[in-house]
Chains A and B, each alone.
Chain A
Amino acid sequence: MEPRADFKRMVLGLPHSTNDYASVIFTAELAQLLGLDLIGVFAEDEGLIDLAALPCVRELRFLGGGWHRVDAEQFERRSSQAAADARRLFGDAAKALRVGARFDLAKGKIGDAVGSQSTPDDIIVVIEPRNPVERVTHQFRQLMDVALNAPAAALLIPSHISRRKGPIVAVATSEHDPSIQAALRVAKSIQEKLLVLAPPDAAEALARLAAVSSVPVDRRPIRSGEVGALELGSLLAPTGERFVVLSRGADVRLPSQLAFGRGVPVLVTGPA
């Protein structure tokens, strides 16, 4: 499927922890800036209720609550409450920012729910949980997996945002890299300048782009081929970037390493 530079919606897998709703607000801000509708998907995983029937499974409760047997009734009640909280917090954020928004309550796994909701015109948004345990949960891993492999673009939102100003950086492997067009659109929407990190042979095309673009376009050469997270971090460090756009590549961990390491949103585009 051909990658799209124009997006219509952002499909956000809503977190279960209210601690992560600052990132939901940030996502809504981005949706407003980019002029996109926002779909909030909250998944009630009924399969988790089955855990109560597994004698070997216990629950480590928050705030030092210790290990307990899973209580199906309490489980359901808390799950419903979490859904209600999610609906309210998401609605508040969307209303405050006057973003076109819709809340979807899905049954099943979050990854599956988001995947089924999204289309190639969408951006699947994944928020990095603040709690490091959540980052290794089965659900988050699955959501990441769906996002990074779906036809839609993926946007990874770090739990900590380092900067709210700065250039939009496209990390391109060639002059045809879809990340350039996607980044250009983001730069126009957010009214920031565009910085393209691309191999030297893309210079001429980028010069032409700079000549016709309504936003300032800078370019900085990088070596050809895959660039690792560490190297890319060094390259980005002097730019003070606000937002990074890159294409899907061989290293599936690169986007999350970049996003969560540098504290900037990373948009992953291009064919899965």
Chain B
Amino acid sequence: MPSSEISEALKQPAAQPMPAAPPSLAPSEKPKPLDVAQMYRRADLSGLSFQTTNDLEPVRGIVGQKRAVDAISFGTRIRQPGFNLFVIGADGAHMQRAVESVLKDAGPGKSELSDWVYVNNFSDSRKPVAIKLPPGRAIQFRDAMHELTDDLKTALPAVFQSEDYQARRGAINQSFQAKQGEAFSALHEKAAAKSIAILRTPMGFALAPLRDGKIVPPDEFNAWPESQRQEVQETIQGLEKELEQVVRQIPRLEMERRDQIRKLNRDTAQFAVGQSIDEVRSKFPDLPKLIEHLEAARSDLVDNVTLFAMKSDDDGNGGIAGGIAEFPDGNPFQRYEVNVLVSHASNGIDTPVVEELHPTLGNLLGNIEYMSQHGVLVTNFRLIKPGAMHRANGGYLLLDVRNLLMEPFSWAALKRTLRQREIRIEDVGHFLGLTSTVSIEPDPIPLDVKVILFGDRMLYYILASLDPEVREHFKVLADFEDEVDRSPAAEAIHARLLASIVRRKELKPLDRDGVALVIEHAARLADHAGKLTLLVEHVGDLLTEADCWASEAKRTVIGSADVQRALDEKTHRASRLRDRAQESILQDVALIDTAGSRLGQVNGLSVLELGGFRFGRPTRITCRVRPGAGKLVDIEREVELGGPIHSKGVLILSGFLAGRYALDAPMSLFASLVFEQSYGGVEGDSASSAELYSLLSALAELPIRQDLAVTGSVNQHGDVQTIGGVNEKIEGFFDICRARGLTGNQGVLIPKANVQHLMLRQDVLDACAAGQFFVYPIGTIDEGISLLTGRAAGKRETNGVFTEGSVNRLVEDRLKAYAQIRQSFGQRSLTESGSGQP
């Protein structure tokens, strides 16, 4: 086709005869704007008679969380392993308070509570012994043992310093001294009789001849006759043998003496400690493990009395000089003390509910502390510290899963503990080789705890997909609702809920209008006119702020003005970015038209959420078209600024075009779509209808009204689908229009399905009521394009073509023209290459 023909084809699509005048939009076809009543649902408190929240009965229990409460209740009833709870919900849902309330209402747990103590293991002090006691008995046992050691501190030294003991000991010593003395005296006398002296030398003993009480000098000795010298020598040799024999007896005699002293010490200690131990025994006759420990303590006391109860004398022979020996780690009686790990009230009915806010491994499972002793770290059973698991044993342990996962080793340790069903204190330092000192291995303690994890849904779903053990250990899921259906009854309960919050936080009461406004705000927070948020923390914050403003205004009751002030101030505090964004539009830095019409250009709407504050902002979307190979280019995707959902939305447009137009010809379109002045990422498909409008405008060459903005996603059939943040989007465009001056034509096209979500700001409502601004519910692309272009969309008639002059007809004709152009290009190429038909 020659180029002139191409131009013609473009000017006169599909060679259809031009109508005399394009079909204008009939009033019945024009989408109707929403009534103000459809854009904001007022609270209906007519069924509730009250002036202020002081007149309302606070709500008891948990509002609107039946599913979650049932799950928690089920989870608390079932005791089998693995049926721990994973409680999920949005931030601010007060899940923990709700769980605690359910646990409180549930009353005592089915498990029998136990006290736990660690005591010294007398046979292996590196493995302290854990003993289970009935509730309330651990403290009794500790006090009894403390009293025992206190008694022994004075009783043992006293008995060992007693005259009776000293006399018996003295008798033993004297007996042995006498035996030794006899032997040595006999030897001495024998030697003396033969004029031989026993001498001490620097290295031992020697025997030497005496004369007149003095050692015979060598000269004199050598001057003696040989026979005399020989005789002395023989005498000395004989005495040497005897001396050696006597000396050899010393160790044996000493051993015998020590044995007898040791036996005396044991008997004495037995006597001293026996009565005290028996007194403690008599207090715990029903606890065999304690009796066993007491007997071990008795044996240890008796066996080691000289080591720890008294000061040995320096010869190491078990002698008793009196007083308590000084031990490096303090009082030696501490080995008989009791380390109370967990204790409960003696009635044992208060099921422990323990929350661990800082779930480090040590805080969770307990830890072993050390103390420095002569530069070395040492520990013992008294330095075992309980963890949250110990305190919660027999009850419930509440953990925030995010905090748990952020602590090294804690998550794995929790699972390991739940699997093993016992609490085993783990020393991270030893795991990592950070400490090389001697540690202890305390007995593990049987676990009977219900762990309740709290977290947001996303965290749960990620964790469940990555860690199969989640489902093994947390079989009960309690999913908290974010909102509840709104009805007069629900609003009444919500009003009572506000009364509860006000009382709990000790705020001023709310008046009736204040309650109504808070309830309406709860619907806005739920993003749904027919729902009320259950995120009571956010509502509580609003009430706190309103209370503050009421105080400043010297009001005793919080009114709607205070609530509104709180809302406005909160928005103001967070709206710097919104204001800057609007400013850039108003100063034509970001180009947004709010009047006139433009070809292939539409005002899309997007929502930004930063730091919990959401605001809407208009964005210009443009489209350019030309003949091509059927490619719809999303410039955002090409430059990798578009997210996958956005790209999906754009690709749906191709499906829409292919399904609606040019059914008998290949798609010969090249179109490019772009979010103008967008320098960040674009995600979501809420602008896909706007993109389609701009595409249709470009193809049909029909300009689009710039006093309207569009939001909504679209499917391949041209149905406009719901989107999020509809209120903020409308308000975002409204703010720009109002700033430039409302013309009475401006408005926003929203998906019909989003009408139920509308809870618009009062100033928007006022403008709508005054006919200065409009919100149009749109069900299909045809409705939208007709409103935007002022031209009927057109239907496919019985002859198979769209209504003459309609938007759809223009689009289809243009697409057919593109197809012809492409076909002619294809034929010319074949001719020029010589392979085509002549």
CA–CA, A137 and B163, complex, Å: 33
B315 contacts A237, CB within 8 Å?
no
B322 contacts A240, CB within 8 Å?
no
* Option from A61, A237, A240, A260 in Cβ contact (under 8 Å) with B203: A61
Q: Does residue B170 face the partner (Cβ distance < 8 Å to A)?
A: yes
A137 contacts B313, CB within 8 Å?
no
Taking CB atoms, residues of chain A closer than 8 Å to B233 are: 55-56
A47 contacts B215, CB within 8 Å?
yes
B200 contacts A59, CB within 8 Å?
no
Interface string of A199-226 (1 = CB under 8 A from B): 0000000000000000000000000000
Taking CB atoms, residues of chain A closer than 8 Å to B184 are: 132-133, 135-136
B198 contacts A78, CB within 8 Å?
no
Smallest Cβ distance from B432 to chain A, in angstroms? 45
Taking CB atoms, residues of chain A closer than 8 Å to B201 are: 48, 51, 59, 70, 75
Q: Does residue B59 face the partner (Cβ distance < 8 Å to A)?
A: no
B208 contacts A51, CB within 8 Å?
yes
Pick out which of these stretches binds chain A: B39-47, B239-247, B597-605, B780-788: B239-247
CA–CA, A162 and B163, complex, Å: 10
Pick out which of these stretches binds chain A: B173-181, B619-627, B697-705, B728-736: B173-181
* Option from B177, B204, B250, B323 in Cβ contact (under 8 Å) with A60: B204
B173 contacts A160, CB within 8 Å?
yes
Taking CB atoms, residues of chain B closer than 8 Å to A51 are: 199, 201, 206, 208, 215
Smallest Cβ distance from B254 to chain A, in angstroms? 9
Taking CB atoms, residues of chain B closer than 8 Å to A237 are: 163, 167
A56, A58, A238, A263 — most chain B CB neighbours (10 Å): A56
Taking CB atoms, residues of chain B closer than 8 Å to A62 are: 203-204
Taking CB atoms, residues of chain A closer than 8 Å to B174 are: 261
Q: Does residue B830 face the partner (Cβ distance < 8 Å to A)?
A: no
Q: Does residue B490 face the partner (Cβ distance < 8 Å to A)?
A: no
Q: Does residue A177 face the partner (Cβ distance < 8 Å to B)?
A: no
Number of interface residues of A (CB under 8 A): 51
Q: Does residue B185 face the partner (Cβ distance < 8 Å to A)?
A: yes
Interface residues of B in 186-217 (CB under 8 A from A): 187-188, 197-210, 215-217
B205 contacts A133, CB within 8 Å?
yes
B208 contacts A137, CB within 8 Å?
no
Taking CB atoms, residues of chain A closer than 8 Å to B229 are: 55-56
Interface residues of A in 59-76 (CB under 8 A from B): 59-62, 65, 67, 70, 74-75
Q: Does residue A181 face the partner (Cβ distance < 8 Å to B)?
A: no
Known contacts A55-B233, A159-B315: does B240 contact A138 (CB below 8 Å)?
A: no
Taking CB atoms, residues of chain A closer than 8 Å to B210 are: 138
Q: Closest residue to A140 on the B side, CB-wise?
A: B200
B187 contacts A138, CB within 8 Å?
no
A160 contacts B315, CB within 8 Å?
yes
Q: Does residue B297 face the partner (Cβ distance < 8 Å to A)?
A: no
* Option from A50, A59, A136, A164 in Cβ contact (under 8 Å) with B217: A50
Q: Does residue A16 face the partner (Cβ distance < 8 Å to B)?
A: yes
Q: Does residue B321 face the partner (Cβ distance < 8 Å to A)?
A: yes
B314 contacts A163, CB within 8 Å?
no
Q: Does residue B221 face the partner (Cβ distance < 8 Å to A)?
A: yes
A137 contacts B322, CB within 8 Å?
no
Q: Does residue A121 face the partner (Cβ distance < 8 Å to B)?
A: no
Taking CB atoms, residues of chain B closer than 8 Å to A56 are: 209, 221, 229, 232-233, 236
Known contacts A54-B209, A132-B184: does B203 contact A59 (CB below 8 Å)?
A: yes
Interface string of A81-108 (1 = CB under 8 A from B): 1100000000000000000000000000
Q: Does residue A174 face the partner (Cβ distance < 8 Å to B)?
A: no
Other contacts beyond A56-B236, A133-B246: 11, CB < 8 A: A48-B199, A51-B206, A56-B233, A60-B243, A81-B202, A133-B205, A134-B200, A138-B197, A138-B198, A160-B173, A162-B321
Interfacial residues, chain A to chain B (CB-CB below 8 A): 16, 19, 22, 47-48, 50-51, 53-62, 65, 67, 70, 74-75, 78-79, 81-82, 130-140, 159-165, 237-238, 240, 260-263
Q: List 25 A-B contacts (CB under 8 A).
A: A22-B315, A48-B201, A48-B215, A51-B199, A51-B201, A51-B215, A56-B236, A57-B236, A58-B207, A60-B247, A61-B204, A62-B204, A67-B244, A74-B203, A79-B202, A132-B250, A133-B184, A133-B205, A136-B187, A136-B188, A139-B199, A160-B317, A161-B313, A162-B166, A162-B170
Which 10 residue pairs are nearest across A and B when measured between Cβ atoms?
A: A53-B218, A78-B202, A22-B314, A56-B233, A61-B204, A138-B197, A136-B188, A132-B180, A136-B184, A137-B200
